[in-house]
Amino acid sequence: MDNSQYLDVFIEESRENLQSLNSMLLSMEEKGFNEGSMNEAFRAMHTIKGTAGVIGIPPIQELAHVLEDLFDVLRKRGEIPDRSVTELLFTGVDRIERMLDELEVSGSVQSSIKDLAARIKAAVEAPAPPVPASSGSADAGGEEEITIEPEELERMVEVLPEGARMVIMSITWTPNLKFKEGRAYQVSKALAPLSSLLASSPDMAEVSDADEGLILVLGTTSADDELLTPVRGVTGVAEVKLHPVALPGRDPSPAAPAAPAEAPSEKRSEPPAEAPEHAVENGEGEEKRAALTNSSSIRVKSKLLDKLLDLVGEIMINNIRINQIANDLKNRELKQTLQNNSRLMGEMQDIVLRTRMVQVDFIFKRFPRIVRDLALANGKEVDFIMRGTDIEIDRSLLDDIGDSLVHLLRNAVDHGIESKEERVAKGKNPRGTIILSAFQEQSNIIITVEDDGRGLDLEKIVSKAIGKGLVKPEDVARMDDRAKMQFVFLPNFSTAEKVSDISGRGVGMDVVKTKIEGLGGFIRLDSTLGKGCKITLKLPPSMSIIRAMLIEVNEEKYAIPLENVRETVRVPMSAIHAVIDRGMFQLRDEVLPVLNIRSEFGSPDGSVDEMPAVIVEKNDSRACLLVSRLIGQQEIVVKNLGKDLRQTGYFSGATILGDGKVAMILDVGAFT
Q: How far apart are CA 347 and CA 577, in angstroms?
A: 48
Secondary structure of residue 441 in the 3-state scheme? strand
Catalytic residue among 68, 226, 450, 517: 68
Among residues 27, 5, 43, 319, which one has the least CA distance to residue 181? 43
Residue 128 Cα distances to 32, 72, 76, 78, 357, angstroms: 19, 9, 5, 10, 46
Catalytic residue among 17, 40, 46, 596: 46
SS3 readout for 504-519: CCCCCHHHHHHHHHHC
564 is catalytic: no
CA 205 centroid distance within chain: 26
Query: Which residues are CB-contacts of 471 (< 8 A; sequence separation ≥ 6)?
Result: 462, 465, 479, 487
Give the H or E element holding residue 651.
strand 651-656
Secondary structure of residue 669 in the 3-state scheme? helix
Q: Look up residue 529 and give its amino acid.
A: L
Beta strand 621-626 with 590-596 is: parallel
In this structure, are residues 183 and 236 in contact, taking their beta carbons and an 8 Å threshold? Answer: yes
b/e string for 583-619 if b means 16 or more Cβ within 10 A? bebebeeeebbbbbbbeeeeeeeeeeeebbbbbbbbb
22 is catalytic: no
What residue ranges in 248-369 does DSSP mark as E strands? 357-359
Catalytic residue among 17, 22, 39, 411: 411
Number of neighbours of residue 152 by Cβ within 10 angstroms? 17
46 is catalytic: yes
The strands making up 651-656's β-sheet, listed across from edge to edge, are 629-637, 545-553, 556-561, 662-666, 651-656
Bridge partners of residue 66, in order along the sequence:
none
Positions annotated as catalytic residues are 46, 68, 411
